[in-house]
Structure 1
């Protein structure tokens, strides 16, 4: 679990897990949970004890990590500068000259992998003589399917890792 050392307005220091922020203003003091929505844990509701408020926020963070999928950095939509109508992670069609006068085209699909470098995969559409609109859409469908499967696997792996991280950290705290 990623932790950071936070010094509050009283000079006390706390090890705070990622997903919890300290808010100190003139009118309020407390910890804000930012994971699957926000929730504020005011020091005043815990007898003005920031440590108790942090424990409550951490307990709720552990509950949310156990039941919610982990947030990822996968892009939900295409970049505004993308000139094609293709979905995120798919580019093409790319035309290549293979032999003397034979050209073929394919899509390139970026397959994200959690904790590893993404892979690129080529999805063949057709050669110049066999190209049809139907083959284009069949290849595009396959490319979209590959990308979706990779994104789902990425999300599952990220969630497993986040839950294991929290479980290990909680065991260390006990």
Structure 2
């Protein structure tokens, strides 16, 4: 899990995991957990180190209980001219080499966690065979392909987040 060094108002330096922010404002001093909702762990009488440890333990619990936040786009862009779901583009019409007829297809962006996304093409038909039924069938396949890819991405993301949380837990136990 990503950590960063933070120096607080007293001069103490802490390594803070991603998902926890420092709040130092007037009479409020503490660590704010921002994962699956927010919660402030005030320094109070215990001090900044103890409140950071409590926030980190709660972060680990939440990571183990909740799915990882998805970075994938959930709704079409406002400037998209059609109503296709995010990650699906088309229909794309093109002329293939050594051919006199154009063909039509949909493009699907397949997200892959920790790797570059891939593009897949779903063939609809040529200008002679294109029909609304073929378009709708290709669109159904594209939506299903994208949904499966998003599920795989989410599972891989959650698995990676939980592995990182195990590392943090082990570091806390060793300290």
Q: TM-score, normalised by structure 1?
A: 0.95
Q: 2:78 is matched with which residue?
A: 80
Runs of 4+ displaced beyond 4 Å: none
Partner Cα separation in structure 1 for residue 141 and residue 43 of structure 2: 53
Count, aligned residues: 172
Partner Cα separation in structure 1 for residue 113 and residue 34 of structure 2: 22
1:169 shift after superposition = 2.4
1:100 shift after superposition = 3.2
Q: 2:40 is matched with which residue?
A: 40
1:127 shift after superposition = 1.3
The two structures, once aligned, show a CA RMSD in angstroms of 1.0
- The 5 A counterparts of 1:1-174 are 1-44=1-44, 47-98=45-96, 99-174=98-173
Gaps of 5+ in 1: none
Secondary structure at 1:165 match in 2: helix
Partner Cα separation in structure 2 for residue 100 and residue 34 of structure 1: 56
Gaps of 5+ in 2: none
1:48 shift after superposition = 4.1
1:173 shift after superposition = 3.0
1:129 shift after superposition = 1.2
Alignment deviations for residues 22-46 of structure 1 (CA, whole Å, 9 cap, x no partner):
00011211000000000011111xx
1:11 shift after superposition = 0.8
Partner Cα separation in structure 2 for residue 12 and residue 107 of structure 1: 55
More off after superposition, 64-73 vs 99-108: 99-108
